[in-house]
Structure 1
């Protein structure tokens, strides 16, 4: 097994691009191990509705990255106190969904450090009933990876803040995350250490019984190709938000001018259908506003831009435009 040096990259878009690039392009005759640490970010599972998983208002306020990965499973929060590992191997049907094969070596190293870790359920590592690691897999025709998080010294309050979804009444076919009680590995260590030291100890432990340990440095050309994948896929709104399964939103709010009941169908990240009901009194036919929103990207900035020239009060009476935007795309009261 060869260790891939990610050269200290902490940008999650680039790290996920590197992981996919390694899976699809590095020499198939070798197995690889990749470690990476990400800046504060939410990593969304391949089959999830992004908006169901994040506190969008908080994420924007705190400049937290939101990136979709190619593996399934639930949304996870990363920060610089979280170490991520990825085992890249040949595809083997016996290994698909066999998380124990890939988590056992990690658990053995944790146990050697005095951490009483164990695989729980299908794909979590827990200590005393609290989750310290979630794992997921992806397979192509010939290759696969099994990757996981290791909460070492993460800000657990941020986990709650960033993943505490504020939008209600979303119905979708996305795979909704199940939240578990979480803990940091550092809580269970006899002596404190930084995540960088933990990373080295884990690497040493994983290779303790291997004589063929070596580190792979990507060439300049390979890094250029990783950046190209990042730019064309992982940086794109269509991948991170637009790939969400079709979903429906029903939201209503009583304003001074009356109640507005909003129904939205969103597919591939765009507003496919919109209907507005209510007991408000407006001069203009509300169908005009529905037509104006239809086809728009379901993104707050785009909604704000679309509505910037529109006289909202002409449709509803005394309803501030910003409050209507909050109804279309914002946090619940």
Structure 2
């Protein structure tokens, strides 16, 4: 692949609706030829993000979200619910498929991006490993904790988005706002906490800026790209706002009859439940497969 220039955009904290719709806005502007391939770092206000066809009523406690001032968004990709706040580092890669390796399919590219994340974390003394299909894990004694990312191809544009838990700040809020198949999860807090690690528990000397730097370098080396720091364009910002208005008009967040409970993605690894005591209340439906744009990413 020839050395080419990509944008590196590093944003300050924004609400979940803005960050969720930003990927779509950038994707559209790349399709129109107005923007170039982009690596994006975002900081999130407390937000629950649910999958495209996930049941809002069964997997999210809306009253608790209101009480804790936690936003709720429905993303275009599939998969399970996630809770995000400023304890997480969230990144997106948005680029035409033809900018990547020849004939690499979407699943292979998800693996490749995971490998780049593993490389970056290892340079920071985080014992990261790849785990199929699209997860990055760390081992803590006999247990497994996971960092993951997912990919979705829309037309000729591929985007991957992933999150790394730098610090678990609001576990009590996590327990309040998320549900599994309609059931509250407080009683399972000890087991759930055991699979939710933190980067700082492996290396307390690093900060999120250190991780961003290594991720950018890892992606640059892997894809032969030169990153230049840029700002969002006015067109992208305007499109984000318009997408939000369109979603409000179309009642995008509300459930439809076919939507199903998916559970919490942090608690699954390759479709396997990491919290045994949850088994009786699980919906017995594995997380969406990669071709549906799944997000199998529980994060450390």
Fold-level match, TM-score > 0.5? Answer: yes
Alignment partner of 2:246 out of 224, 232, 241:
232
Alignment partner of 2:112 out of 95, 101, 110:
101
Q: Which residue of 2 aligns with 1:2?
A: 6
Q: Which residue of 1 aligns with 2:208?
A: 195
Does residue 41 of structure 2 align to residue 35 of structure 1?
yes
If the length of structure 1 is used for normalisation, what is the TM-score? 0.63
- Residues 291-302 of structure 1: matches in 2 within 5 Å? none
| CA contact 2:120–2:211 (8 Å) conserved in 1 | no
Inter-partner Cα distance in structure 2 for 1:241 and 1:59: 15
| CA contact 1:132–1:184 (8 Å) conserved in 2 | no
Give 1:104 shift: 0.9
- Residues 315-326 of structure 1: matches in 2 within 5 Å? none
Give 1:55 shift: 2.5
Inter-partner Cα distance in structure 1 for 2:119 and 2:227: 18
Pairwise CA RMSD:
3.0
Task: Structure 2: state its 5+ residue gaps.
Answer: 184-191, 262-300
| CA contact 2:90–2:164 (8 Å) conserved in 1 | yes
Q: Which residue of 2 aligns with 1:216?
A: 230
3-state SS in 2 of match to 1:240? coil
Inter-partner Cα distance in structure 1 for 2:250 and 2:66: 14
Does residue 155 of structure 2 align to residue 141 of structure 1?
yes
Larger deviation, residues 28-37 vs 223-232:
28-37
- Could you say which structure has the greater relative contact order, defined with CA pairs below 8 angstroms and 6 or more residues apart? 2
Q: Which residue of 1 aligns with 2:290?
A: none
Matched residues, number = 237
| CA contact 1:48–1:244 (8 Å) conserved in 2 | no
- Residues 223-302 of structure 1: matches in 2 within 5 Å? 223-233=237-247, 238-243=251-256, 245-246=258-259
| CA contact 2:87–2:168 (8 Å) conserved in 1 | yes
Task: Structure 1: state its 5+ residue gaps.
Answer: 169-178, 249-333
Inter-partner Cα distance in structure 2 for 1:226 and 1:163: 26
- Spell out, residue by residue over 1:275-314, the C-alpha distance to the aligned partner (whole angstroms, 9 max, x if none): xxxxxxxxxxxxxxxxxxxxxxxxxxxxxxxxxxxxxxxx
| CA contact 2:92–2:161 (8 Å) conserved in 1 | yes
| CA contact 2:94–2:160 (8 Å) conserved in 1 | yes
